[in-house]
A and B are shown apart, each in its own frame.
Chain A
Amino acid sequence: MTAAEADRLARVALARITEPGHVRLLDLVSDSGAEVVHARLLDHPEIGRRLSAVEPERELAAAAKIGLRFVVPGDDEWPPVLDDLRTAEPVQERGGVPIGLWVRGPVRLDEVGGSLAVVGARTATTYGTDLAADLAATVGEAGRAIVSGAAFGIDFAAHRGAVAVEAPTVAVLACGADRVYPQAHHQMIDHIAAEGAVVSETVPGGAPMRIRFLSRNRIIAALSAGTVVIEAALRSGALNTANWAGRLNRTLMGVPGPVTSASSAGVHQLIRTGAATLVTSGEEALELLGASGEHVLDIPRGKDRPRDGLSHLQRQVLDAVPVARGAPSVSVARVAGLPAEEVHTTLLGLEVRGMVELDGDDGWRLAALAHD
C-alpha cells in the first residue's frame, strides 16, 4: 500500500466517525496527517472501538459502484482553495479543511477555480429567483462554474440558470453525495450528477441534519472565488455562507431588493456594514470576480443630453432664451443679467451648436435640440 492509499483509507475511516467541520479533529489531521490521528484514536477506549469497526476499503468500493469518488488533500483533483479553511476562524465551532470530499459527477473540483457561489433564501420571492437564475446564466456563459446548495429558492434558481446555458455547476449537499435532498429537486440533482458535480463532506448515506448545513456552507464559500447573496432575511443560512466568504477573503457580493422587503433585509445589512459589494447583474459580478482589468464595465450613467457640453456662460444665456416667441438679444441679455455684447456673441455660438434659432425678425428662441 502506498502512503497516499494509507492516508486515503485513514481519512475514510475518520470521516465515518466524525461530524463534518469538527474543527479540533480537522486541525489535528491537517497538522499531523490522517494516519497519525487515526492510530492515536484507535487507542481511545470508545472512539477506538467505533473506528476499528469501519471498513474503509469496502466503503470506497461501494462508493465507486454508485459513481462516488473520495477526493482528499494531495489528490490531483483536490482544489487548493480549500486549504484556505485551515487558517480561517471557525464559525459556530465549525471549520477546518475537510478530511475529504465525496464527489459524484464528471466535473473535477480542481477545474472549478474562479467559480461563483450563488446563495440566498429558501423562501425567496420570484423577484429573487428570476435574478438568481439570470445572474447565474450570465456568469456561467462567461465560462465560470456556479456553486450552490441545491436547496429551495435561490439555490435552485442558480443551478437552473447555469444549466440553462450549459455552464458547469456544483451542488454541495449537507447529506451524503449519494443521496438527494430536498427530494423535490431529485431531477435537478440527478442532472448535476450527470453533467456537473454533486459534492459533500458528509459520508455516503448521511442524513441532511441541521448542523451539517453550517459546515456545508463553508465548503460552498471555500470552493468559490466569490459569493453573491440574493435575498436573505436577517436570520438566513445564506448569511452564514456570506460570513465564511468574508473569513476566507473571497469576494462577497449582495443583490439588493426593495428596502421594504423582509426577504432582502439580510443582504442590505451585509451591504450597509461594508461586508458585501452591491451588484445588480451577472456582468457586475464578473467584473468583481475577474482579475484586475478583466470584464471592466463602463460606469453606467444617463444618456448624454445636448446641454451637457455647454459652458456655464452658455447655459446662463440659454436659460434666458424664450421657448416659443423669439426675443432680441438685448432682452435676452436683460433677463440673463449679462452684458448685451457678451450675450450676442454667446447666442451666435449657441446657434452654431443648433441650440437656438432665429424666429423671423422677432429674435432668438430655443431650437428643438435645446428642449431636452
Chain B
Amino acid sequence: MPFATARTVSLHGAVGHLIDVQSDVSPGQPGLTMVGRPDATLNEARDRCRMAIINSGLVWPTTKRITILLSPADLLKSGTHFDLAIAVSVLAADGRIPKPHLTGTAFVGELTLDGNLRSVTGVLPMVLAAAERGIGRVFVPEPQAGEAAMVPGMEVLGMRSLAQVVAQLRGDEVPEAPPVAPMSGARLLSWRGDERLEETDMSDLLGLADVRFAVEVAAAGSHHLLLSGPKGAGKTSVAERIPGILPDLTRTESLELTALHSLAGILDPGQGMVVRPPYTAPHHDASKASLIGGGRGQVRPGEVSRAHGGVLFLDEFPLFRSDVIEALRQPLESGDVTIARQEESVTLPARAMVVLACNPCPCGRFSVDPGTNGCNCRSPQLRDYRNKVTGPVADRVDIVRNLVPLGRADRGDRFTVPESSAAIRERVAAARLRQAERYAGESWGLNGHAPGPVLRERWPLPEPAQRVIDDEVYSGRLSRRGGTRVHRLAWTVADLRRLQGPGVEEVAVALRLRTGDPLLIGMLERAS
C-alpha cells in the first residue's frame, strides 16, 4: 500500500495538536495535492520538500500522483516546521523508509532547498503536546535538541539535515552535515539587560522603608502594584529589583515560561529551563500586539506572557495608548491573555505581577515646592493623565504607594542597614509556602490569584476584621472590589507574619497599602 503517516505538532498559542501528515503516492497523473487547511507558509512546503529531497540525493516520486493530508483536516495549520514530517511521510509512502519506524515518533523542522534543517520556534510546547499524546521520540533541528530534552522521558534526536534523519530512521550510518544556525533573533533579545539586573540588589536602595515593605507584600502574594511619584523618586529602581526578591519559579511556571520563550524565539539553548522570574519593561510606545501578543501565522507571545511568573513593569503607564491599557485588564484579572484573530482565538498564560508607575503629572516635573516645581502641564492634559491613573486598570491594582524623593536624612542614615534581596526572598518564599499549603488542590497558589468569592466563602476574615472593611465600603472610601483586594492583601500580610490568619491589625495594614496611605512604622516590623 503506497501510503504512510508521519506525525508533527501544530501550535495554537501554547496549545499543541498532534497532526498526522498522511501521504499517498500512487500511479496517476503526476502532481502534488496538499489538503487539510494549510495556510500560505505551509503551502510553500511542497516546493521546499521536493527540492530538499532531490538535493539530499534521495528520490522524489516525480512520475506519480502525490496526495498529502494534514489531519485533523478542520484545523487551520500554519508554520514551516511541518516540512520534515511532510518529507519523511512522502519518502515512507514511496517505500524509501520502513514505515514501522515512524510509529511513536514526531518530526519538527523546516527544510532548506539543499536538504538541511533550520531552527524553528516553539519546539518545547510542541514536544510537550506530543508527549501528552503518547509520542516517545522526536526529531528536531540540532539547536533545539536541548529545549526538547526538557520534556521528561522523551527521546530526542537533534538533526542537521534530512539525509541524517532518513539515515537514522533506516538504521544506516549518519552522514556529515553542516551545523544548523541558531535562531537569528535569539541572542539579541535575551541579552537585553539581564546581566545588569543580576547585579542589582535591594540593599542598593536607601530609605524607602514604606515601599520596601509594600514590595515585599506584593512579591509574597503576587499582588499588582502602582508606584506614584515624581522623577527620580526611585520607581524604576524599585521595580527592577522585584524579580530579585521572588523565589525561583515553580516547576509548572518554569515549564510554561520556557515554552513561552520558545514560542517567542528567545530561548537561549545554552541556558536550559528558565528558572528565575523574568522582568519585562516595555516602553509606553508599545503596540497592543507587542504587549498582549499576536502577529500573523504562529502567535507570538507578548511582553505580558514573557513576564509570566515574573514582573511586568509599565513605566509612565498613563502614557500607554488607551487600547493597550484596556487590553491589560484581562491578564491583570485572570492571569492569561486571549488573542482573538480572524479564524481562531488563542489563549496564553500571562500571570505576571504587574507594576505600574506614574508621575504626578505628564511632564513629571511637578513638585509642591514652588522652588523646584518645573511643571508646565495644562489642565486638560493633567485631567486626562489623572483619569488614566484612576481608571479601570489602576482599579485592578492591589497596592498603591506614593514615593517621595530621597531626603538628606536618608543619605547619611547610620542606623538603617538596607536589607539584601536574598534576606527578603527568604521571607517571601516562606510566605508563598504557607499559601501553597493552604491552597493545595486549588487552581491557584497565591493570594493575589485567589478568586474573591471563594476567598470570602472559605477563607473569611474574623468578624471584627471584616467589619473594618465593611465600614470603609459603607462610608464609600473603598469600593466593593477594593474590599476584596484588602481581604487578599490581609492574608498575605498574615502569611508574612506567620499567623494562622489575618486579624484587625493585618486588615489595617492592607487598607493602607490599598488606599495609598502611609504605613504606621510599627507595621513595618518583619517576622524573624
Contacts from A to B (Cβ < 8 Å): 123-130, 133-134, 136-138, 141, 152-153, 157, 160-161, 163-166, 187-188, 191, 258, 261, 263, 281, 300-303, 372
Contacts and interface: CB of A to CB of B under 8 A. Distances in A.
A166 B411 CA distance: 12
B98 to A, nearest CB: 74
Contacts of B210: 126
Contact of A127 (B409, B410, B413, B518): B518
A137 B411 CA distance: 11
Contact of B404 (A130, A137, A301): A130
A164 B413 contact: yes
A123 B522 contact: yes
B521 A165 contact: no
A261 B522 contact: no
Nearest to B519: A126
Given A188-B415, A191-B414, A126 B409 contact: no
Contacts of B414: 160, 163-164, 191
Contacts of B373: 303
Interface in B203-224: 207, 209-210
A264 B151 CA distance: 59
B409 A133 contact: yes
Nearest to A163: B414
Nearest to A297: B371
B520 interface: yes
A38 B173 CA distance: 113
28 contacts: A123-B520, A123-B521, A124-B520, A125-B517, A125-B518, A126-B209, A126-B520, A129-B209, A130-B207, A133-B407, A133-B409, A134-B408, A137-B409, A160-B415, A160-B416, A161-B407, A163-B414, A163-B415, A164-B408, A164-B412, A164-B413, A191-B414, A258-B517, A263-B520, A281-B369, A300-B369, A302-B370, A303-B370
Given A126-B521, A261-B517, A163 B412 contact: yes
Contact of A125 (B376, B412, B413, B519): B519
A166 B412 contact: yes
Most chain B CB within 10 A, of A126, A134, A141, A300, is at A126
A165 B408 CA distance: 8
Nearest 10 pairs of A and B residues by beta carbon = A164-B412, A133-B409, A134-B407, A161-B409, A126-B210, A127-B518, A125-B518, A137-B409, A126-B518, A300-B370
A134 B409 contact: yes
Contact of B370 (A125, A137, A301): A301
Contacts, number: 81
B413 A141 contact: no
A166 B409 CA distance: 10
Given A126-B209, A134-B407, A300-B371, A165 B412 contact: yes
A138 B408 contact: yes
B408 A137 contact: yes
Q: DSSP majority for the B interface? A: loop
Given A160-B409, A165-B408, A258-B517, 18 more contacts: A124-B521, A125-B517, A126-B210, A126-B519, A126-B524, A129-B521, A133-B410, A133-B413, A134-B408, A160-B416, A161-B407, A163-B414, A164-B409, A164-B410, A164-B414, A165-B409, A300-B371, A372-B376
A220 to B, nearest CB: 20
A181 B409 CA distance: 23
Contacts of A166: 412
Interface in B26-78: none
Most chain A CB within 10 A, of B369, B521, B522, is at B521
Nearest to A185: B415
A153 B520 CA distance: 9
A180 B62 CA distance: 97
Contacts of B209: 126, 129
A125 B515 CA distance: 14
Contacts of A258: 517
A164 B411 contact: yes
Contacts of A127: 518
Contacts of A163: 412, 414-415
Most chain B CB within 10 A, of A123, A128, A160, is at A160
Most chain A CB within 10 A, of B207, B369, B371, B415, is at B415
Interface in B370-387: 370-371, 373, 376
Given A123-B521, A124-B520, A152-B522, A130 B407 contact: yes
A188 B519 CA distance: 22
A157 B210 CA distance: 14
A216 to B, nearest CB: 21
Nearest to B413: A164
A125 B524 CA distance: 10
Nearest to A162: B409
Interface string B132-167: 000000000000000000000000000000000000
B410 to A, nearest CB: 7
Nearest to A154: B521
A312 to B, nearest CB: 24
B380 to A, nearest CB: 12
Nearest to A133: B409
Most chain B CB within 10 A, of A133, A136, A188, is at A133
B458 to A, nearest CB: 33
Contacts of A301: 370
Contacts of B409: 130, 133-134, 136-137, 157, 160-161, 164-165
Nearest to A299: B370
Contacts of B517: 125, 258, 261
Contact of A137 (B371, B407, B520, B522): B407
Given A124-B520, A152-B522, A300-B370, A160 B404 contact: no
B12 to A, nearest CB: 49
A209 to B, nearest CB: 22
Nearest to B214: A126
A187 B517 CA distance: 30
Nearest to B209: A126
Interface in B410-433: 410-416
Contacts of B408: 134, 137-138, 141, 161, 164-165
A165 B412 CA distance: 6
A128 B207 CA distance: 14
Contacts of A129: 209, 521
B264 to A, nearest CB: 40
B521 A125 contact: yes
Interface in B350-390: 369-371, 373, 376
Most chain B CB within 10 A, of A127, A138, A141, A191, is at A127
Most chain B CB within 10 A, of A136, A164, A300, is at A164
A123 B518 CA distance: 12
Nearest to A187: B415
B326 to A, nearest CB: 32
A160 B370 CA distance: 27
A152 B520 CA distance: 11
Contacts of A302: 370
Nearest to B371: A300
A341 B376 CA distance: 36
Contacts of B411: 164
B521 to A, nearest CB: 6
Contacts of B518: 125-128
Contacts of A125: 517-521
